[in-house]
Amino acid sequence: MQNLLITGGSQGIGQQTAIEAAKKGMFIGINYNSNDKAAEETLSKVKQLGGDGIALKCDVSKHNAVKDMFKIFVDTAGSLDGVFNNAGTTGPVSKIHELDPKDFKSLIDTNVIGAFNIAQESSKIMIKQKRGNIVNMSSIAAEIGGAGELVHYAMSKGAIDSLTYGMAKELGVYGIRVNAVAPGLIATDIHEKAGDASRVERLLPSVPLGRVGLALEVADTVMWLLSKYSSYVCGTIIRVSGGR
């Protein structure tokens, strides 16, 4: 694989995946929504590590902006070998009956509509190429439900699981592999953004391996899915959750 577009590539798991891809000399599209500084810092790390790339500011929930982003990426990189469909948010930690409908809509805009926009535009390009590799970002929340804190988020990731199963069947016939990763509790800023910085500590007793996961441990799994070493893996959701 020579080039890779990562949505939400400026921070957390996406950023770590950009770093791992850079070590393999790839050209990386680092998509982000608002934090220019984080994107520029990620791009600079990518270049220091022997990769190259481009920072792509685009809210994945905006369909026309997503179309433009893919055009810029393909015009610059020449093709689209891989996509890590990773951008996402948890929305605020809240019980169902207390969640503000505005927060719910905003979550669905990013996690569901955004992920679908990326899937759709990737598909258009990869079907023409008759090759490609897509890794979607799910969460074990889709299976465990997020009761008491993040049911809204769990529901949005359930949609990613369905997207992954359906896309794998629809695109496999063109030689395109589609899989997903489903992380558990991973140490990134997402928990603080959800308004509950103590979330990781609070949930640690539920992790059989007894520790929080690292962004690198998810990035390594994504890189494996994007590599030749997983050449017959398609339509699979891999848990990266320390047994949780």
Q: Is 137 helix (H, G, I), strand (E, B) or coil?
A: strand
Q: Which of 29, 114, 132, 242 binds ligand NAP (CB under 6 A)?
A: 114
Task: Select the residue interacting with ligand NAP from 3, 14, 94, 179 (CB under 6 A).
Answer: 14
The C-alpha atoms of residue 11 and residue 111 are separated, in whole angstroms, by: 16
Question: Looking at beta carbons only, is 59 or 143 nearer to ligand NAP?
Answer: 59
**Cα 227 to chain center, whole Å?**
17
Binding mask 43-62 for ligand NAP (x = CB under 6 A): ----------------xxx-
Query: Which runs of consecutive H residues, i.e. helices, occur in the chain?
Result: 12-23, 36-48, 63-77, 101-108, 115-129, 141-144, 151-172, 190-193, 199-203, 215-225
Tell me the per-residue interface mask from 63 to 82 with ligand NAP, x by CB under 6 A, - otherwise.
--------------------
**Is residue 118 packed enough to be buried (19+ CB in 10 Å), middle (13-18) or exposed (0-12)?**
buried
189 is an interface residue for ligand NAP by CB under 6 A: yes
SS3 of residue 57 by DSSP: strand
Q: Does 153 participate in catalysis according to the annotation?
A: yes
Tokens found for residue 34: 């608002």
In this complex, which beta carbon is closest to ligand NAP, that of residue 14 or of residue 92? Answer: 14
Out of 22, 29, 77, 89, the residue judged to bind ligand NAP by CB under 6 A:
89
**Annotated catalytic sites, by residue?**
153
Enumerate binding residues for ligand NAP (CB under 6 A): 7-8, 10-14, 31-35, 38, 59-61, 86-89, 110, 114, 137, 139, 183, 185-186, 188-190, 193
